[in-house]
Structure 1
Amino acid sequence: MLYETPRLSPADHRVLAEVADMRSALRDAVRQAPTKWTLDLRRHLTASAIAASNTIEGYEVDARDVADLMDDAQETVDVTEANRAETVAYQQAMTYIQSLHDVHDFAYSKGLLNALHWMLQGHHHPPKPAGQWRRGPVFITAVGDPHATEYEGPHEDDVPVLMGELVDWLNTGDTDSDPLVRAAMAHFNLVKIHPWADGNGRMSRSLQTLLIAREGVLAPEFSSIEAWLGMPGHTWDYYRVLREVGGAVYSPKRDTSPWIRFNLRAYHEQTQSVQHRVNRSNRCWIQLDERRDALGVTERQVTALHEVAMTGRVRRSRHERAEGISEQQALRDMQHLMRRDLLTPVGNTKGRYYVPGSSYPQDVLATAAARHTIRDPYESLT
């Protein structure tokens, strides 16, 4: 038996309607924007999701370093080998998830879920078995007390049957529910079954992202709420709601309404955040493009300047891959921007990146750094 999808309250329905309106507007805005910076935005959103999900599990890698590792797993980035391995593994799984968004004969299966788990956790196998159900009990330890059990998963003998139920539900269950609600329930049921020895949290968040991506309203990169979940205060709330709603043991008759409300707030606030970033990014691109002649740069070099504004830095290697140019062409672009004091190098040759120089337009940086306010959609309804 699985945890059931709850009946939504009038407030839930209003929040869902607002999310739908914002996502539709965001889709239109991205379609109208220059392709170059929207590709950069998609890369940033994917990197932020990967960084946040790994942070929840205790692996700390800056989203900008994640973006560099996404381009090249061997990129010279100052991270530990453990953090590099976790980042590359998650990026591999996320890339596959994103590629599934428009597969016409797609179906969920135990094999698919185990394959995704292998992508995430295969580098830990065999000490921590990957791509196969756990063969023993599982206990979630309370924070700060290694002897206290916060949650005990179902018996290992019950896992295959429960996963069969979940796969059936993923394919045919609650199809009248809003896709965002179904995605949240998929996350909850998978993390409560806890079918693997390790990596259950990341797999559950990945499954939620996959269901949202399959909805098809937005490109897959815009579909994850992992960046929101990875914020410190939100991470604490995430664990609290999982604990309070799920119970101390597998209890599928419990009311899941608070979990759905938590997720609807996450969808809403994450969409607000992405919309603000799209607006800032678009304004920065226009400001840079309009003064291209005055700055003495090409459109290709504007792309590098735009990335610097939005993320704080750019690497020669990423500029090379993003523009599809040779190493020498990318190096000449960086040297030209340095000569005009638009960029300043930081670090040695292999690990070097570039930050805004003394002549970088300050109004563009101000636009990129513009503050915004995120509202809790439920507070605005009271």
Structure 2
Amino acid sequence: MRTDLRHQIRNAPYKWTEGLRKFLTADLVAASNSIEGFRVSTVDVADLMEGERDVEVSEDDKEETLAYQRMMTYIQTLHNAPDFAYSKGLLNGLHWMLQGHRHTVAKPAGQWRQAIVYVTDARDPSIAAYTAPKHEEVASLMAELVNWLNQDDGNHPLVRAAMAHLHLVSIHPWNDGNGRMSRSLQTLMIAREGVLAPEFSSVEAWLGRPGNTWEYYRQLADRGSTYLPDQNVASWITFNLTAYHQQAQTVRNRLERSRHVLAQLTDFTEAEGLDERLVSALHDVAMTGRVRRLRYEHAEALSVQQAQRDLRDLTASGILEAIGRTRARYYTAGPRFPQDVITTATTPTTLTDPYRPR
């Protein structure tokens, strides 16, 4: 199924797959951060990634979003990097990208922790749900992990990626950011497999859905309250294989929905006598609920004046509706926006569980 999805992506127009890449990157950043308590919607993350400054999120959430996005952007460039190798330096460098803005002497970023670390129970912080290995053991455990990452032990890359996630989060080598680092390492390993680019490979968006997040916590809790490397991990592997499968289904469904929306909007703009470049702005509104001037400007390589004029004309005709003022302004569907397109874009789809008996 992932190979079929790769062919679908390659055969789709670049401009539309590029938009999907940006959305999926924003989605995984939003989801992985939400697991750690930083709540920024996918569409707000997309706006921040585009360079929008007037997005209504807290400064803390903005910093976490942009830090994770910068790290993920670098990871995306590594998926086909020649002469690539995992190293302690690479992992610490990624951690600095993620946590450098929170660096302190007591809790340094980009360095192994120098103290015991606990993962507390979400319902009662006085209870240690997990106690990580002693800090004196971290360097040797990470050396062992890096050595394993650079070897081919004959297991399937998707299984190895799931195990890399589990190994890293179990060692918990840093003071903070261990969950996001573990999920990012998994994303990098899947991408290095070469079937799908990182944006289409990551399961972080799937893990960030509320029901899946609780199952994710349960799976980690089932591993025990201390570091137990010699244990049966069949349920963890099955959980991750389900995540891979359902995330691939999600990407495929979004690609199909996007394709139908594009066709309908092309017909609509032709019937209205509108320039075909406007499809880009209307497509964003249909698929994400809104568009901002900067995103449309970048998508179509327009000047500020051209983008402003186009959106103003769409608003005057009732196809779009302007919300807010000046730089914070965005546009949503107006009374003349084609309702059949909204229906296509918002009709939910069903995901199948490949491991549940039918």
Normalised to the residue count of structure 2, the TM-score between the two structures is 0.98
1:282 aligns with 2:259: yes
Letter in 1 for 2:36: E
Partner Cα distance (1:291, 1:349) in 2: 28
Provide the identity percentage: 57
In the alignment, what sits opposite 2:73? 95
1:223 aligns with 2:171: no
> Which of 307, 313, 318 is matched with 1:341 structurally?
318
In the alignment, what sits opposite 2:7? 28
In the alignment, what sits opposite 2:166? 188
Partner Cα distance (1:129, 1:378) in 2: 42
Partner Cα distance (1:131, 1:360) in 2: 49
Letter in 1 for 2:3: S
1:260 aligns with 2:234: no
Partner Cα distance (2:179, 2:111) in 1: 16
In the alignment, what sits opposite 1:160? 139
SS at match of 1:294: helix
> Which of 186, 190, 193 is matched with 1:212 structurally?
190
In the alignment, what sits opposite 1:232? 210
Shift of 1:299: 2.0
SS at match of 2:335: coil
Contact 2:21 2:200 in 1 (8 A): yes
> Which of 268, 271, 276 is matched with 1:291 structurally?
268
| Paired residues for 1:69-218 under 5 Å | 69-72=48-51, 75-126=53-104, 127-174=106-153, 176-218=154-196
Shift of 1:331: 0.6
Contact 2:319 2:336 in 1 (8 A): yes
Normalised to the residue count of structure 1, the TM-score between the two structures is 0.91
Contact 2:289 2:332 in 1 (8 A): yes
1:372 aligns with 2:349: yes
Contact 2:270 2:276 in 1 (8 A): no
SS at match of 1:197: coil
Shift of 1:295: 2.3
Contact 2:323 2:331 in 1 (8 A): yes
- Unaligned 5+ runs, structure 1: 1-21
Contact 2:31 2:207 in 1 (8 A): yes
Cα deviation 1:215-246 (Å, max 9, x = unaligned) = 1111221011011100111111101101102x
Over aligned residue pairs, what C-alpha RMSD do you find?
A: 1.1
In the alignment, what sits opposite 2:296? 319
Letter in 2 for 1:292: T
Partner Cα distance (2:64, 2:346) in 1: 30
Partner Cα distance (1:83, 1:52) in 2: 13
Partner Cα distance (1:32, 1:295) in 2: 28
- Unaligned 5+ runs, structure 2: none
Shift of 1:173: 4.3
Letter in 1 for 2:309: R
In the alignment, what sits opposite 1:38? 17
Cα deviation 1:99-136 (Å, max 9, x = unaligned) = 11110111000000000000000000015310000000
Contact 2:32 2:204 in 1 (8 A): yes
In the alignment, what sits opposite 2:277? 300
Contact 2:268 2:338 in 1 (8 A): no
Partner Cα distance (2:10, 2:25) in 1: 18
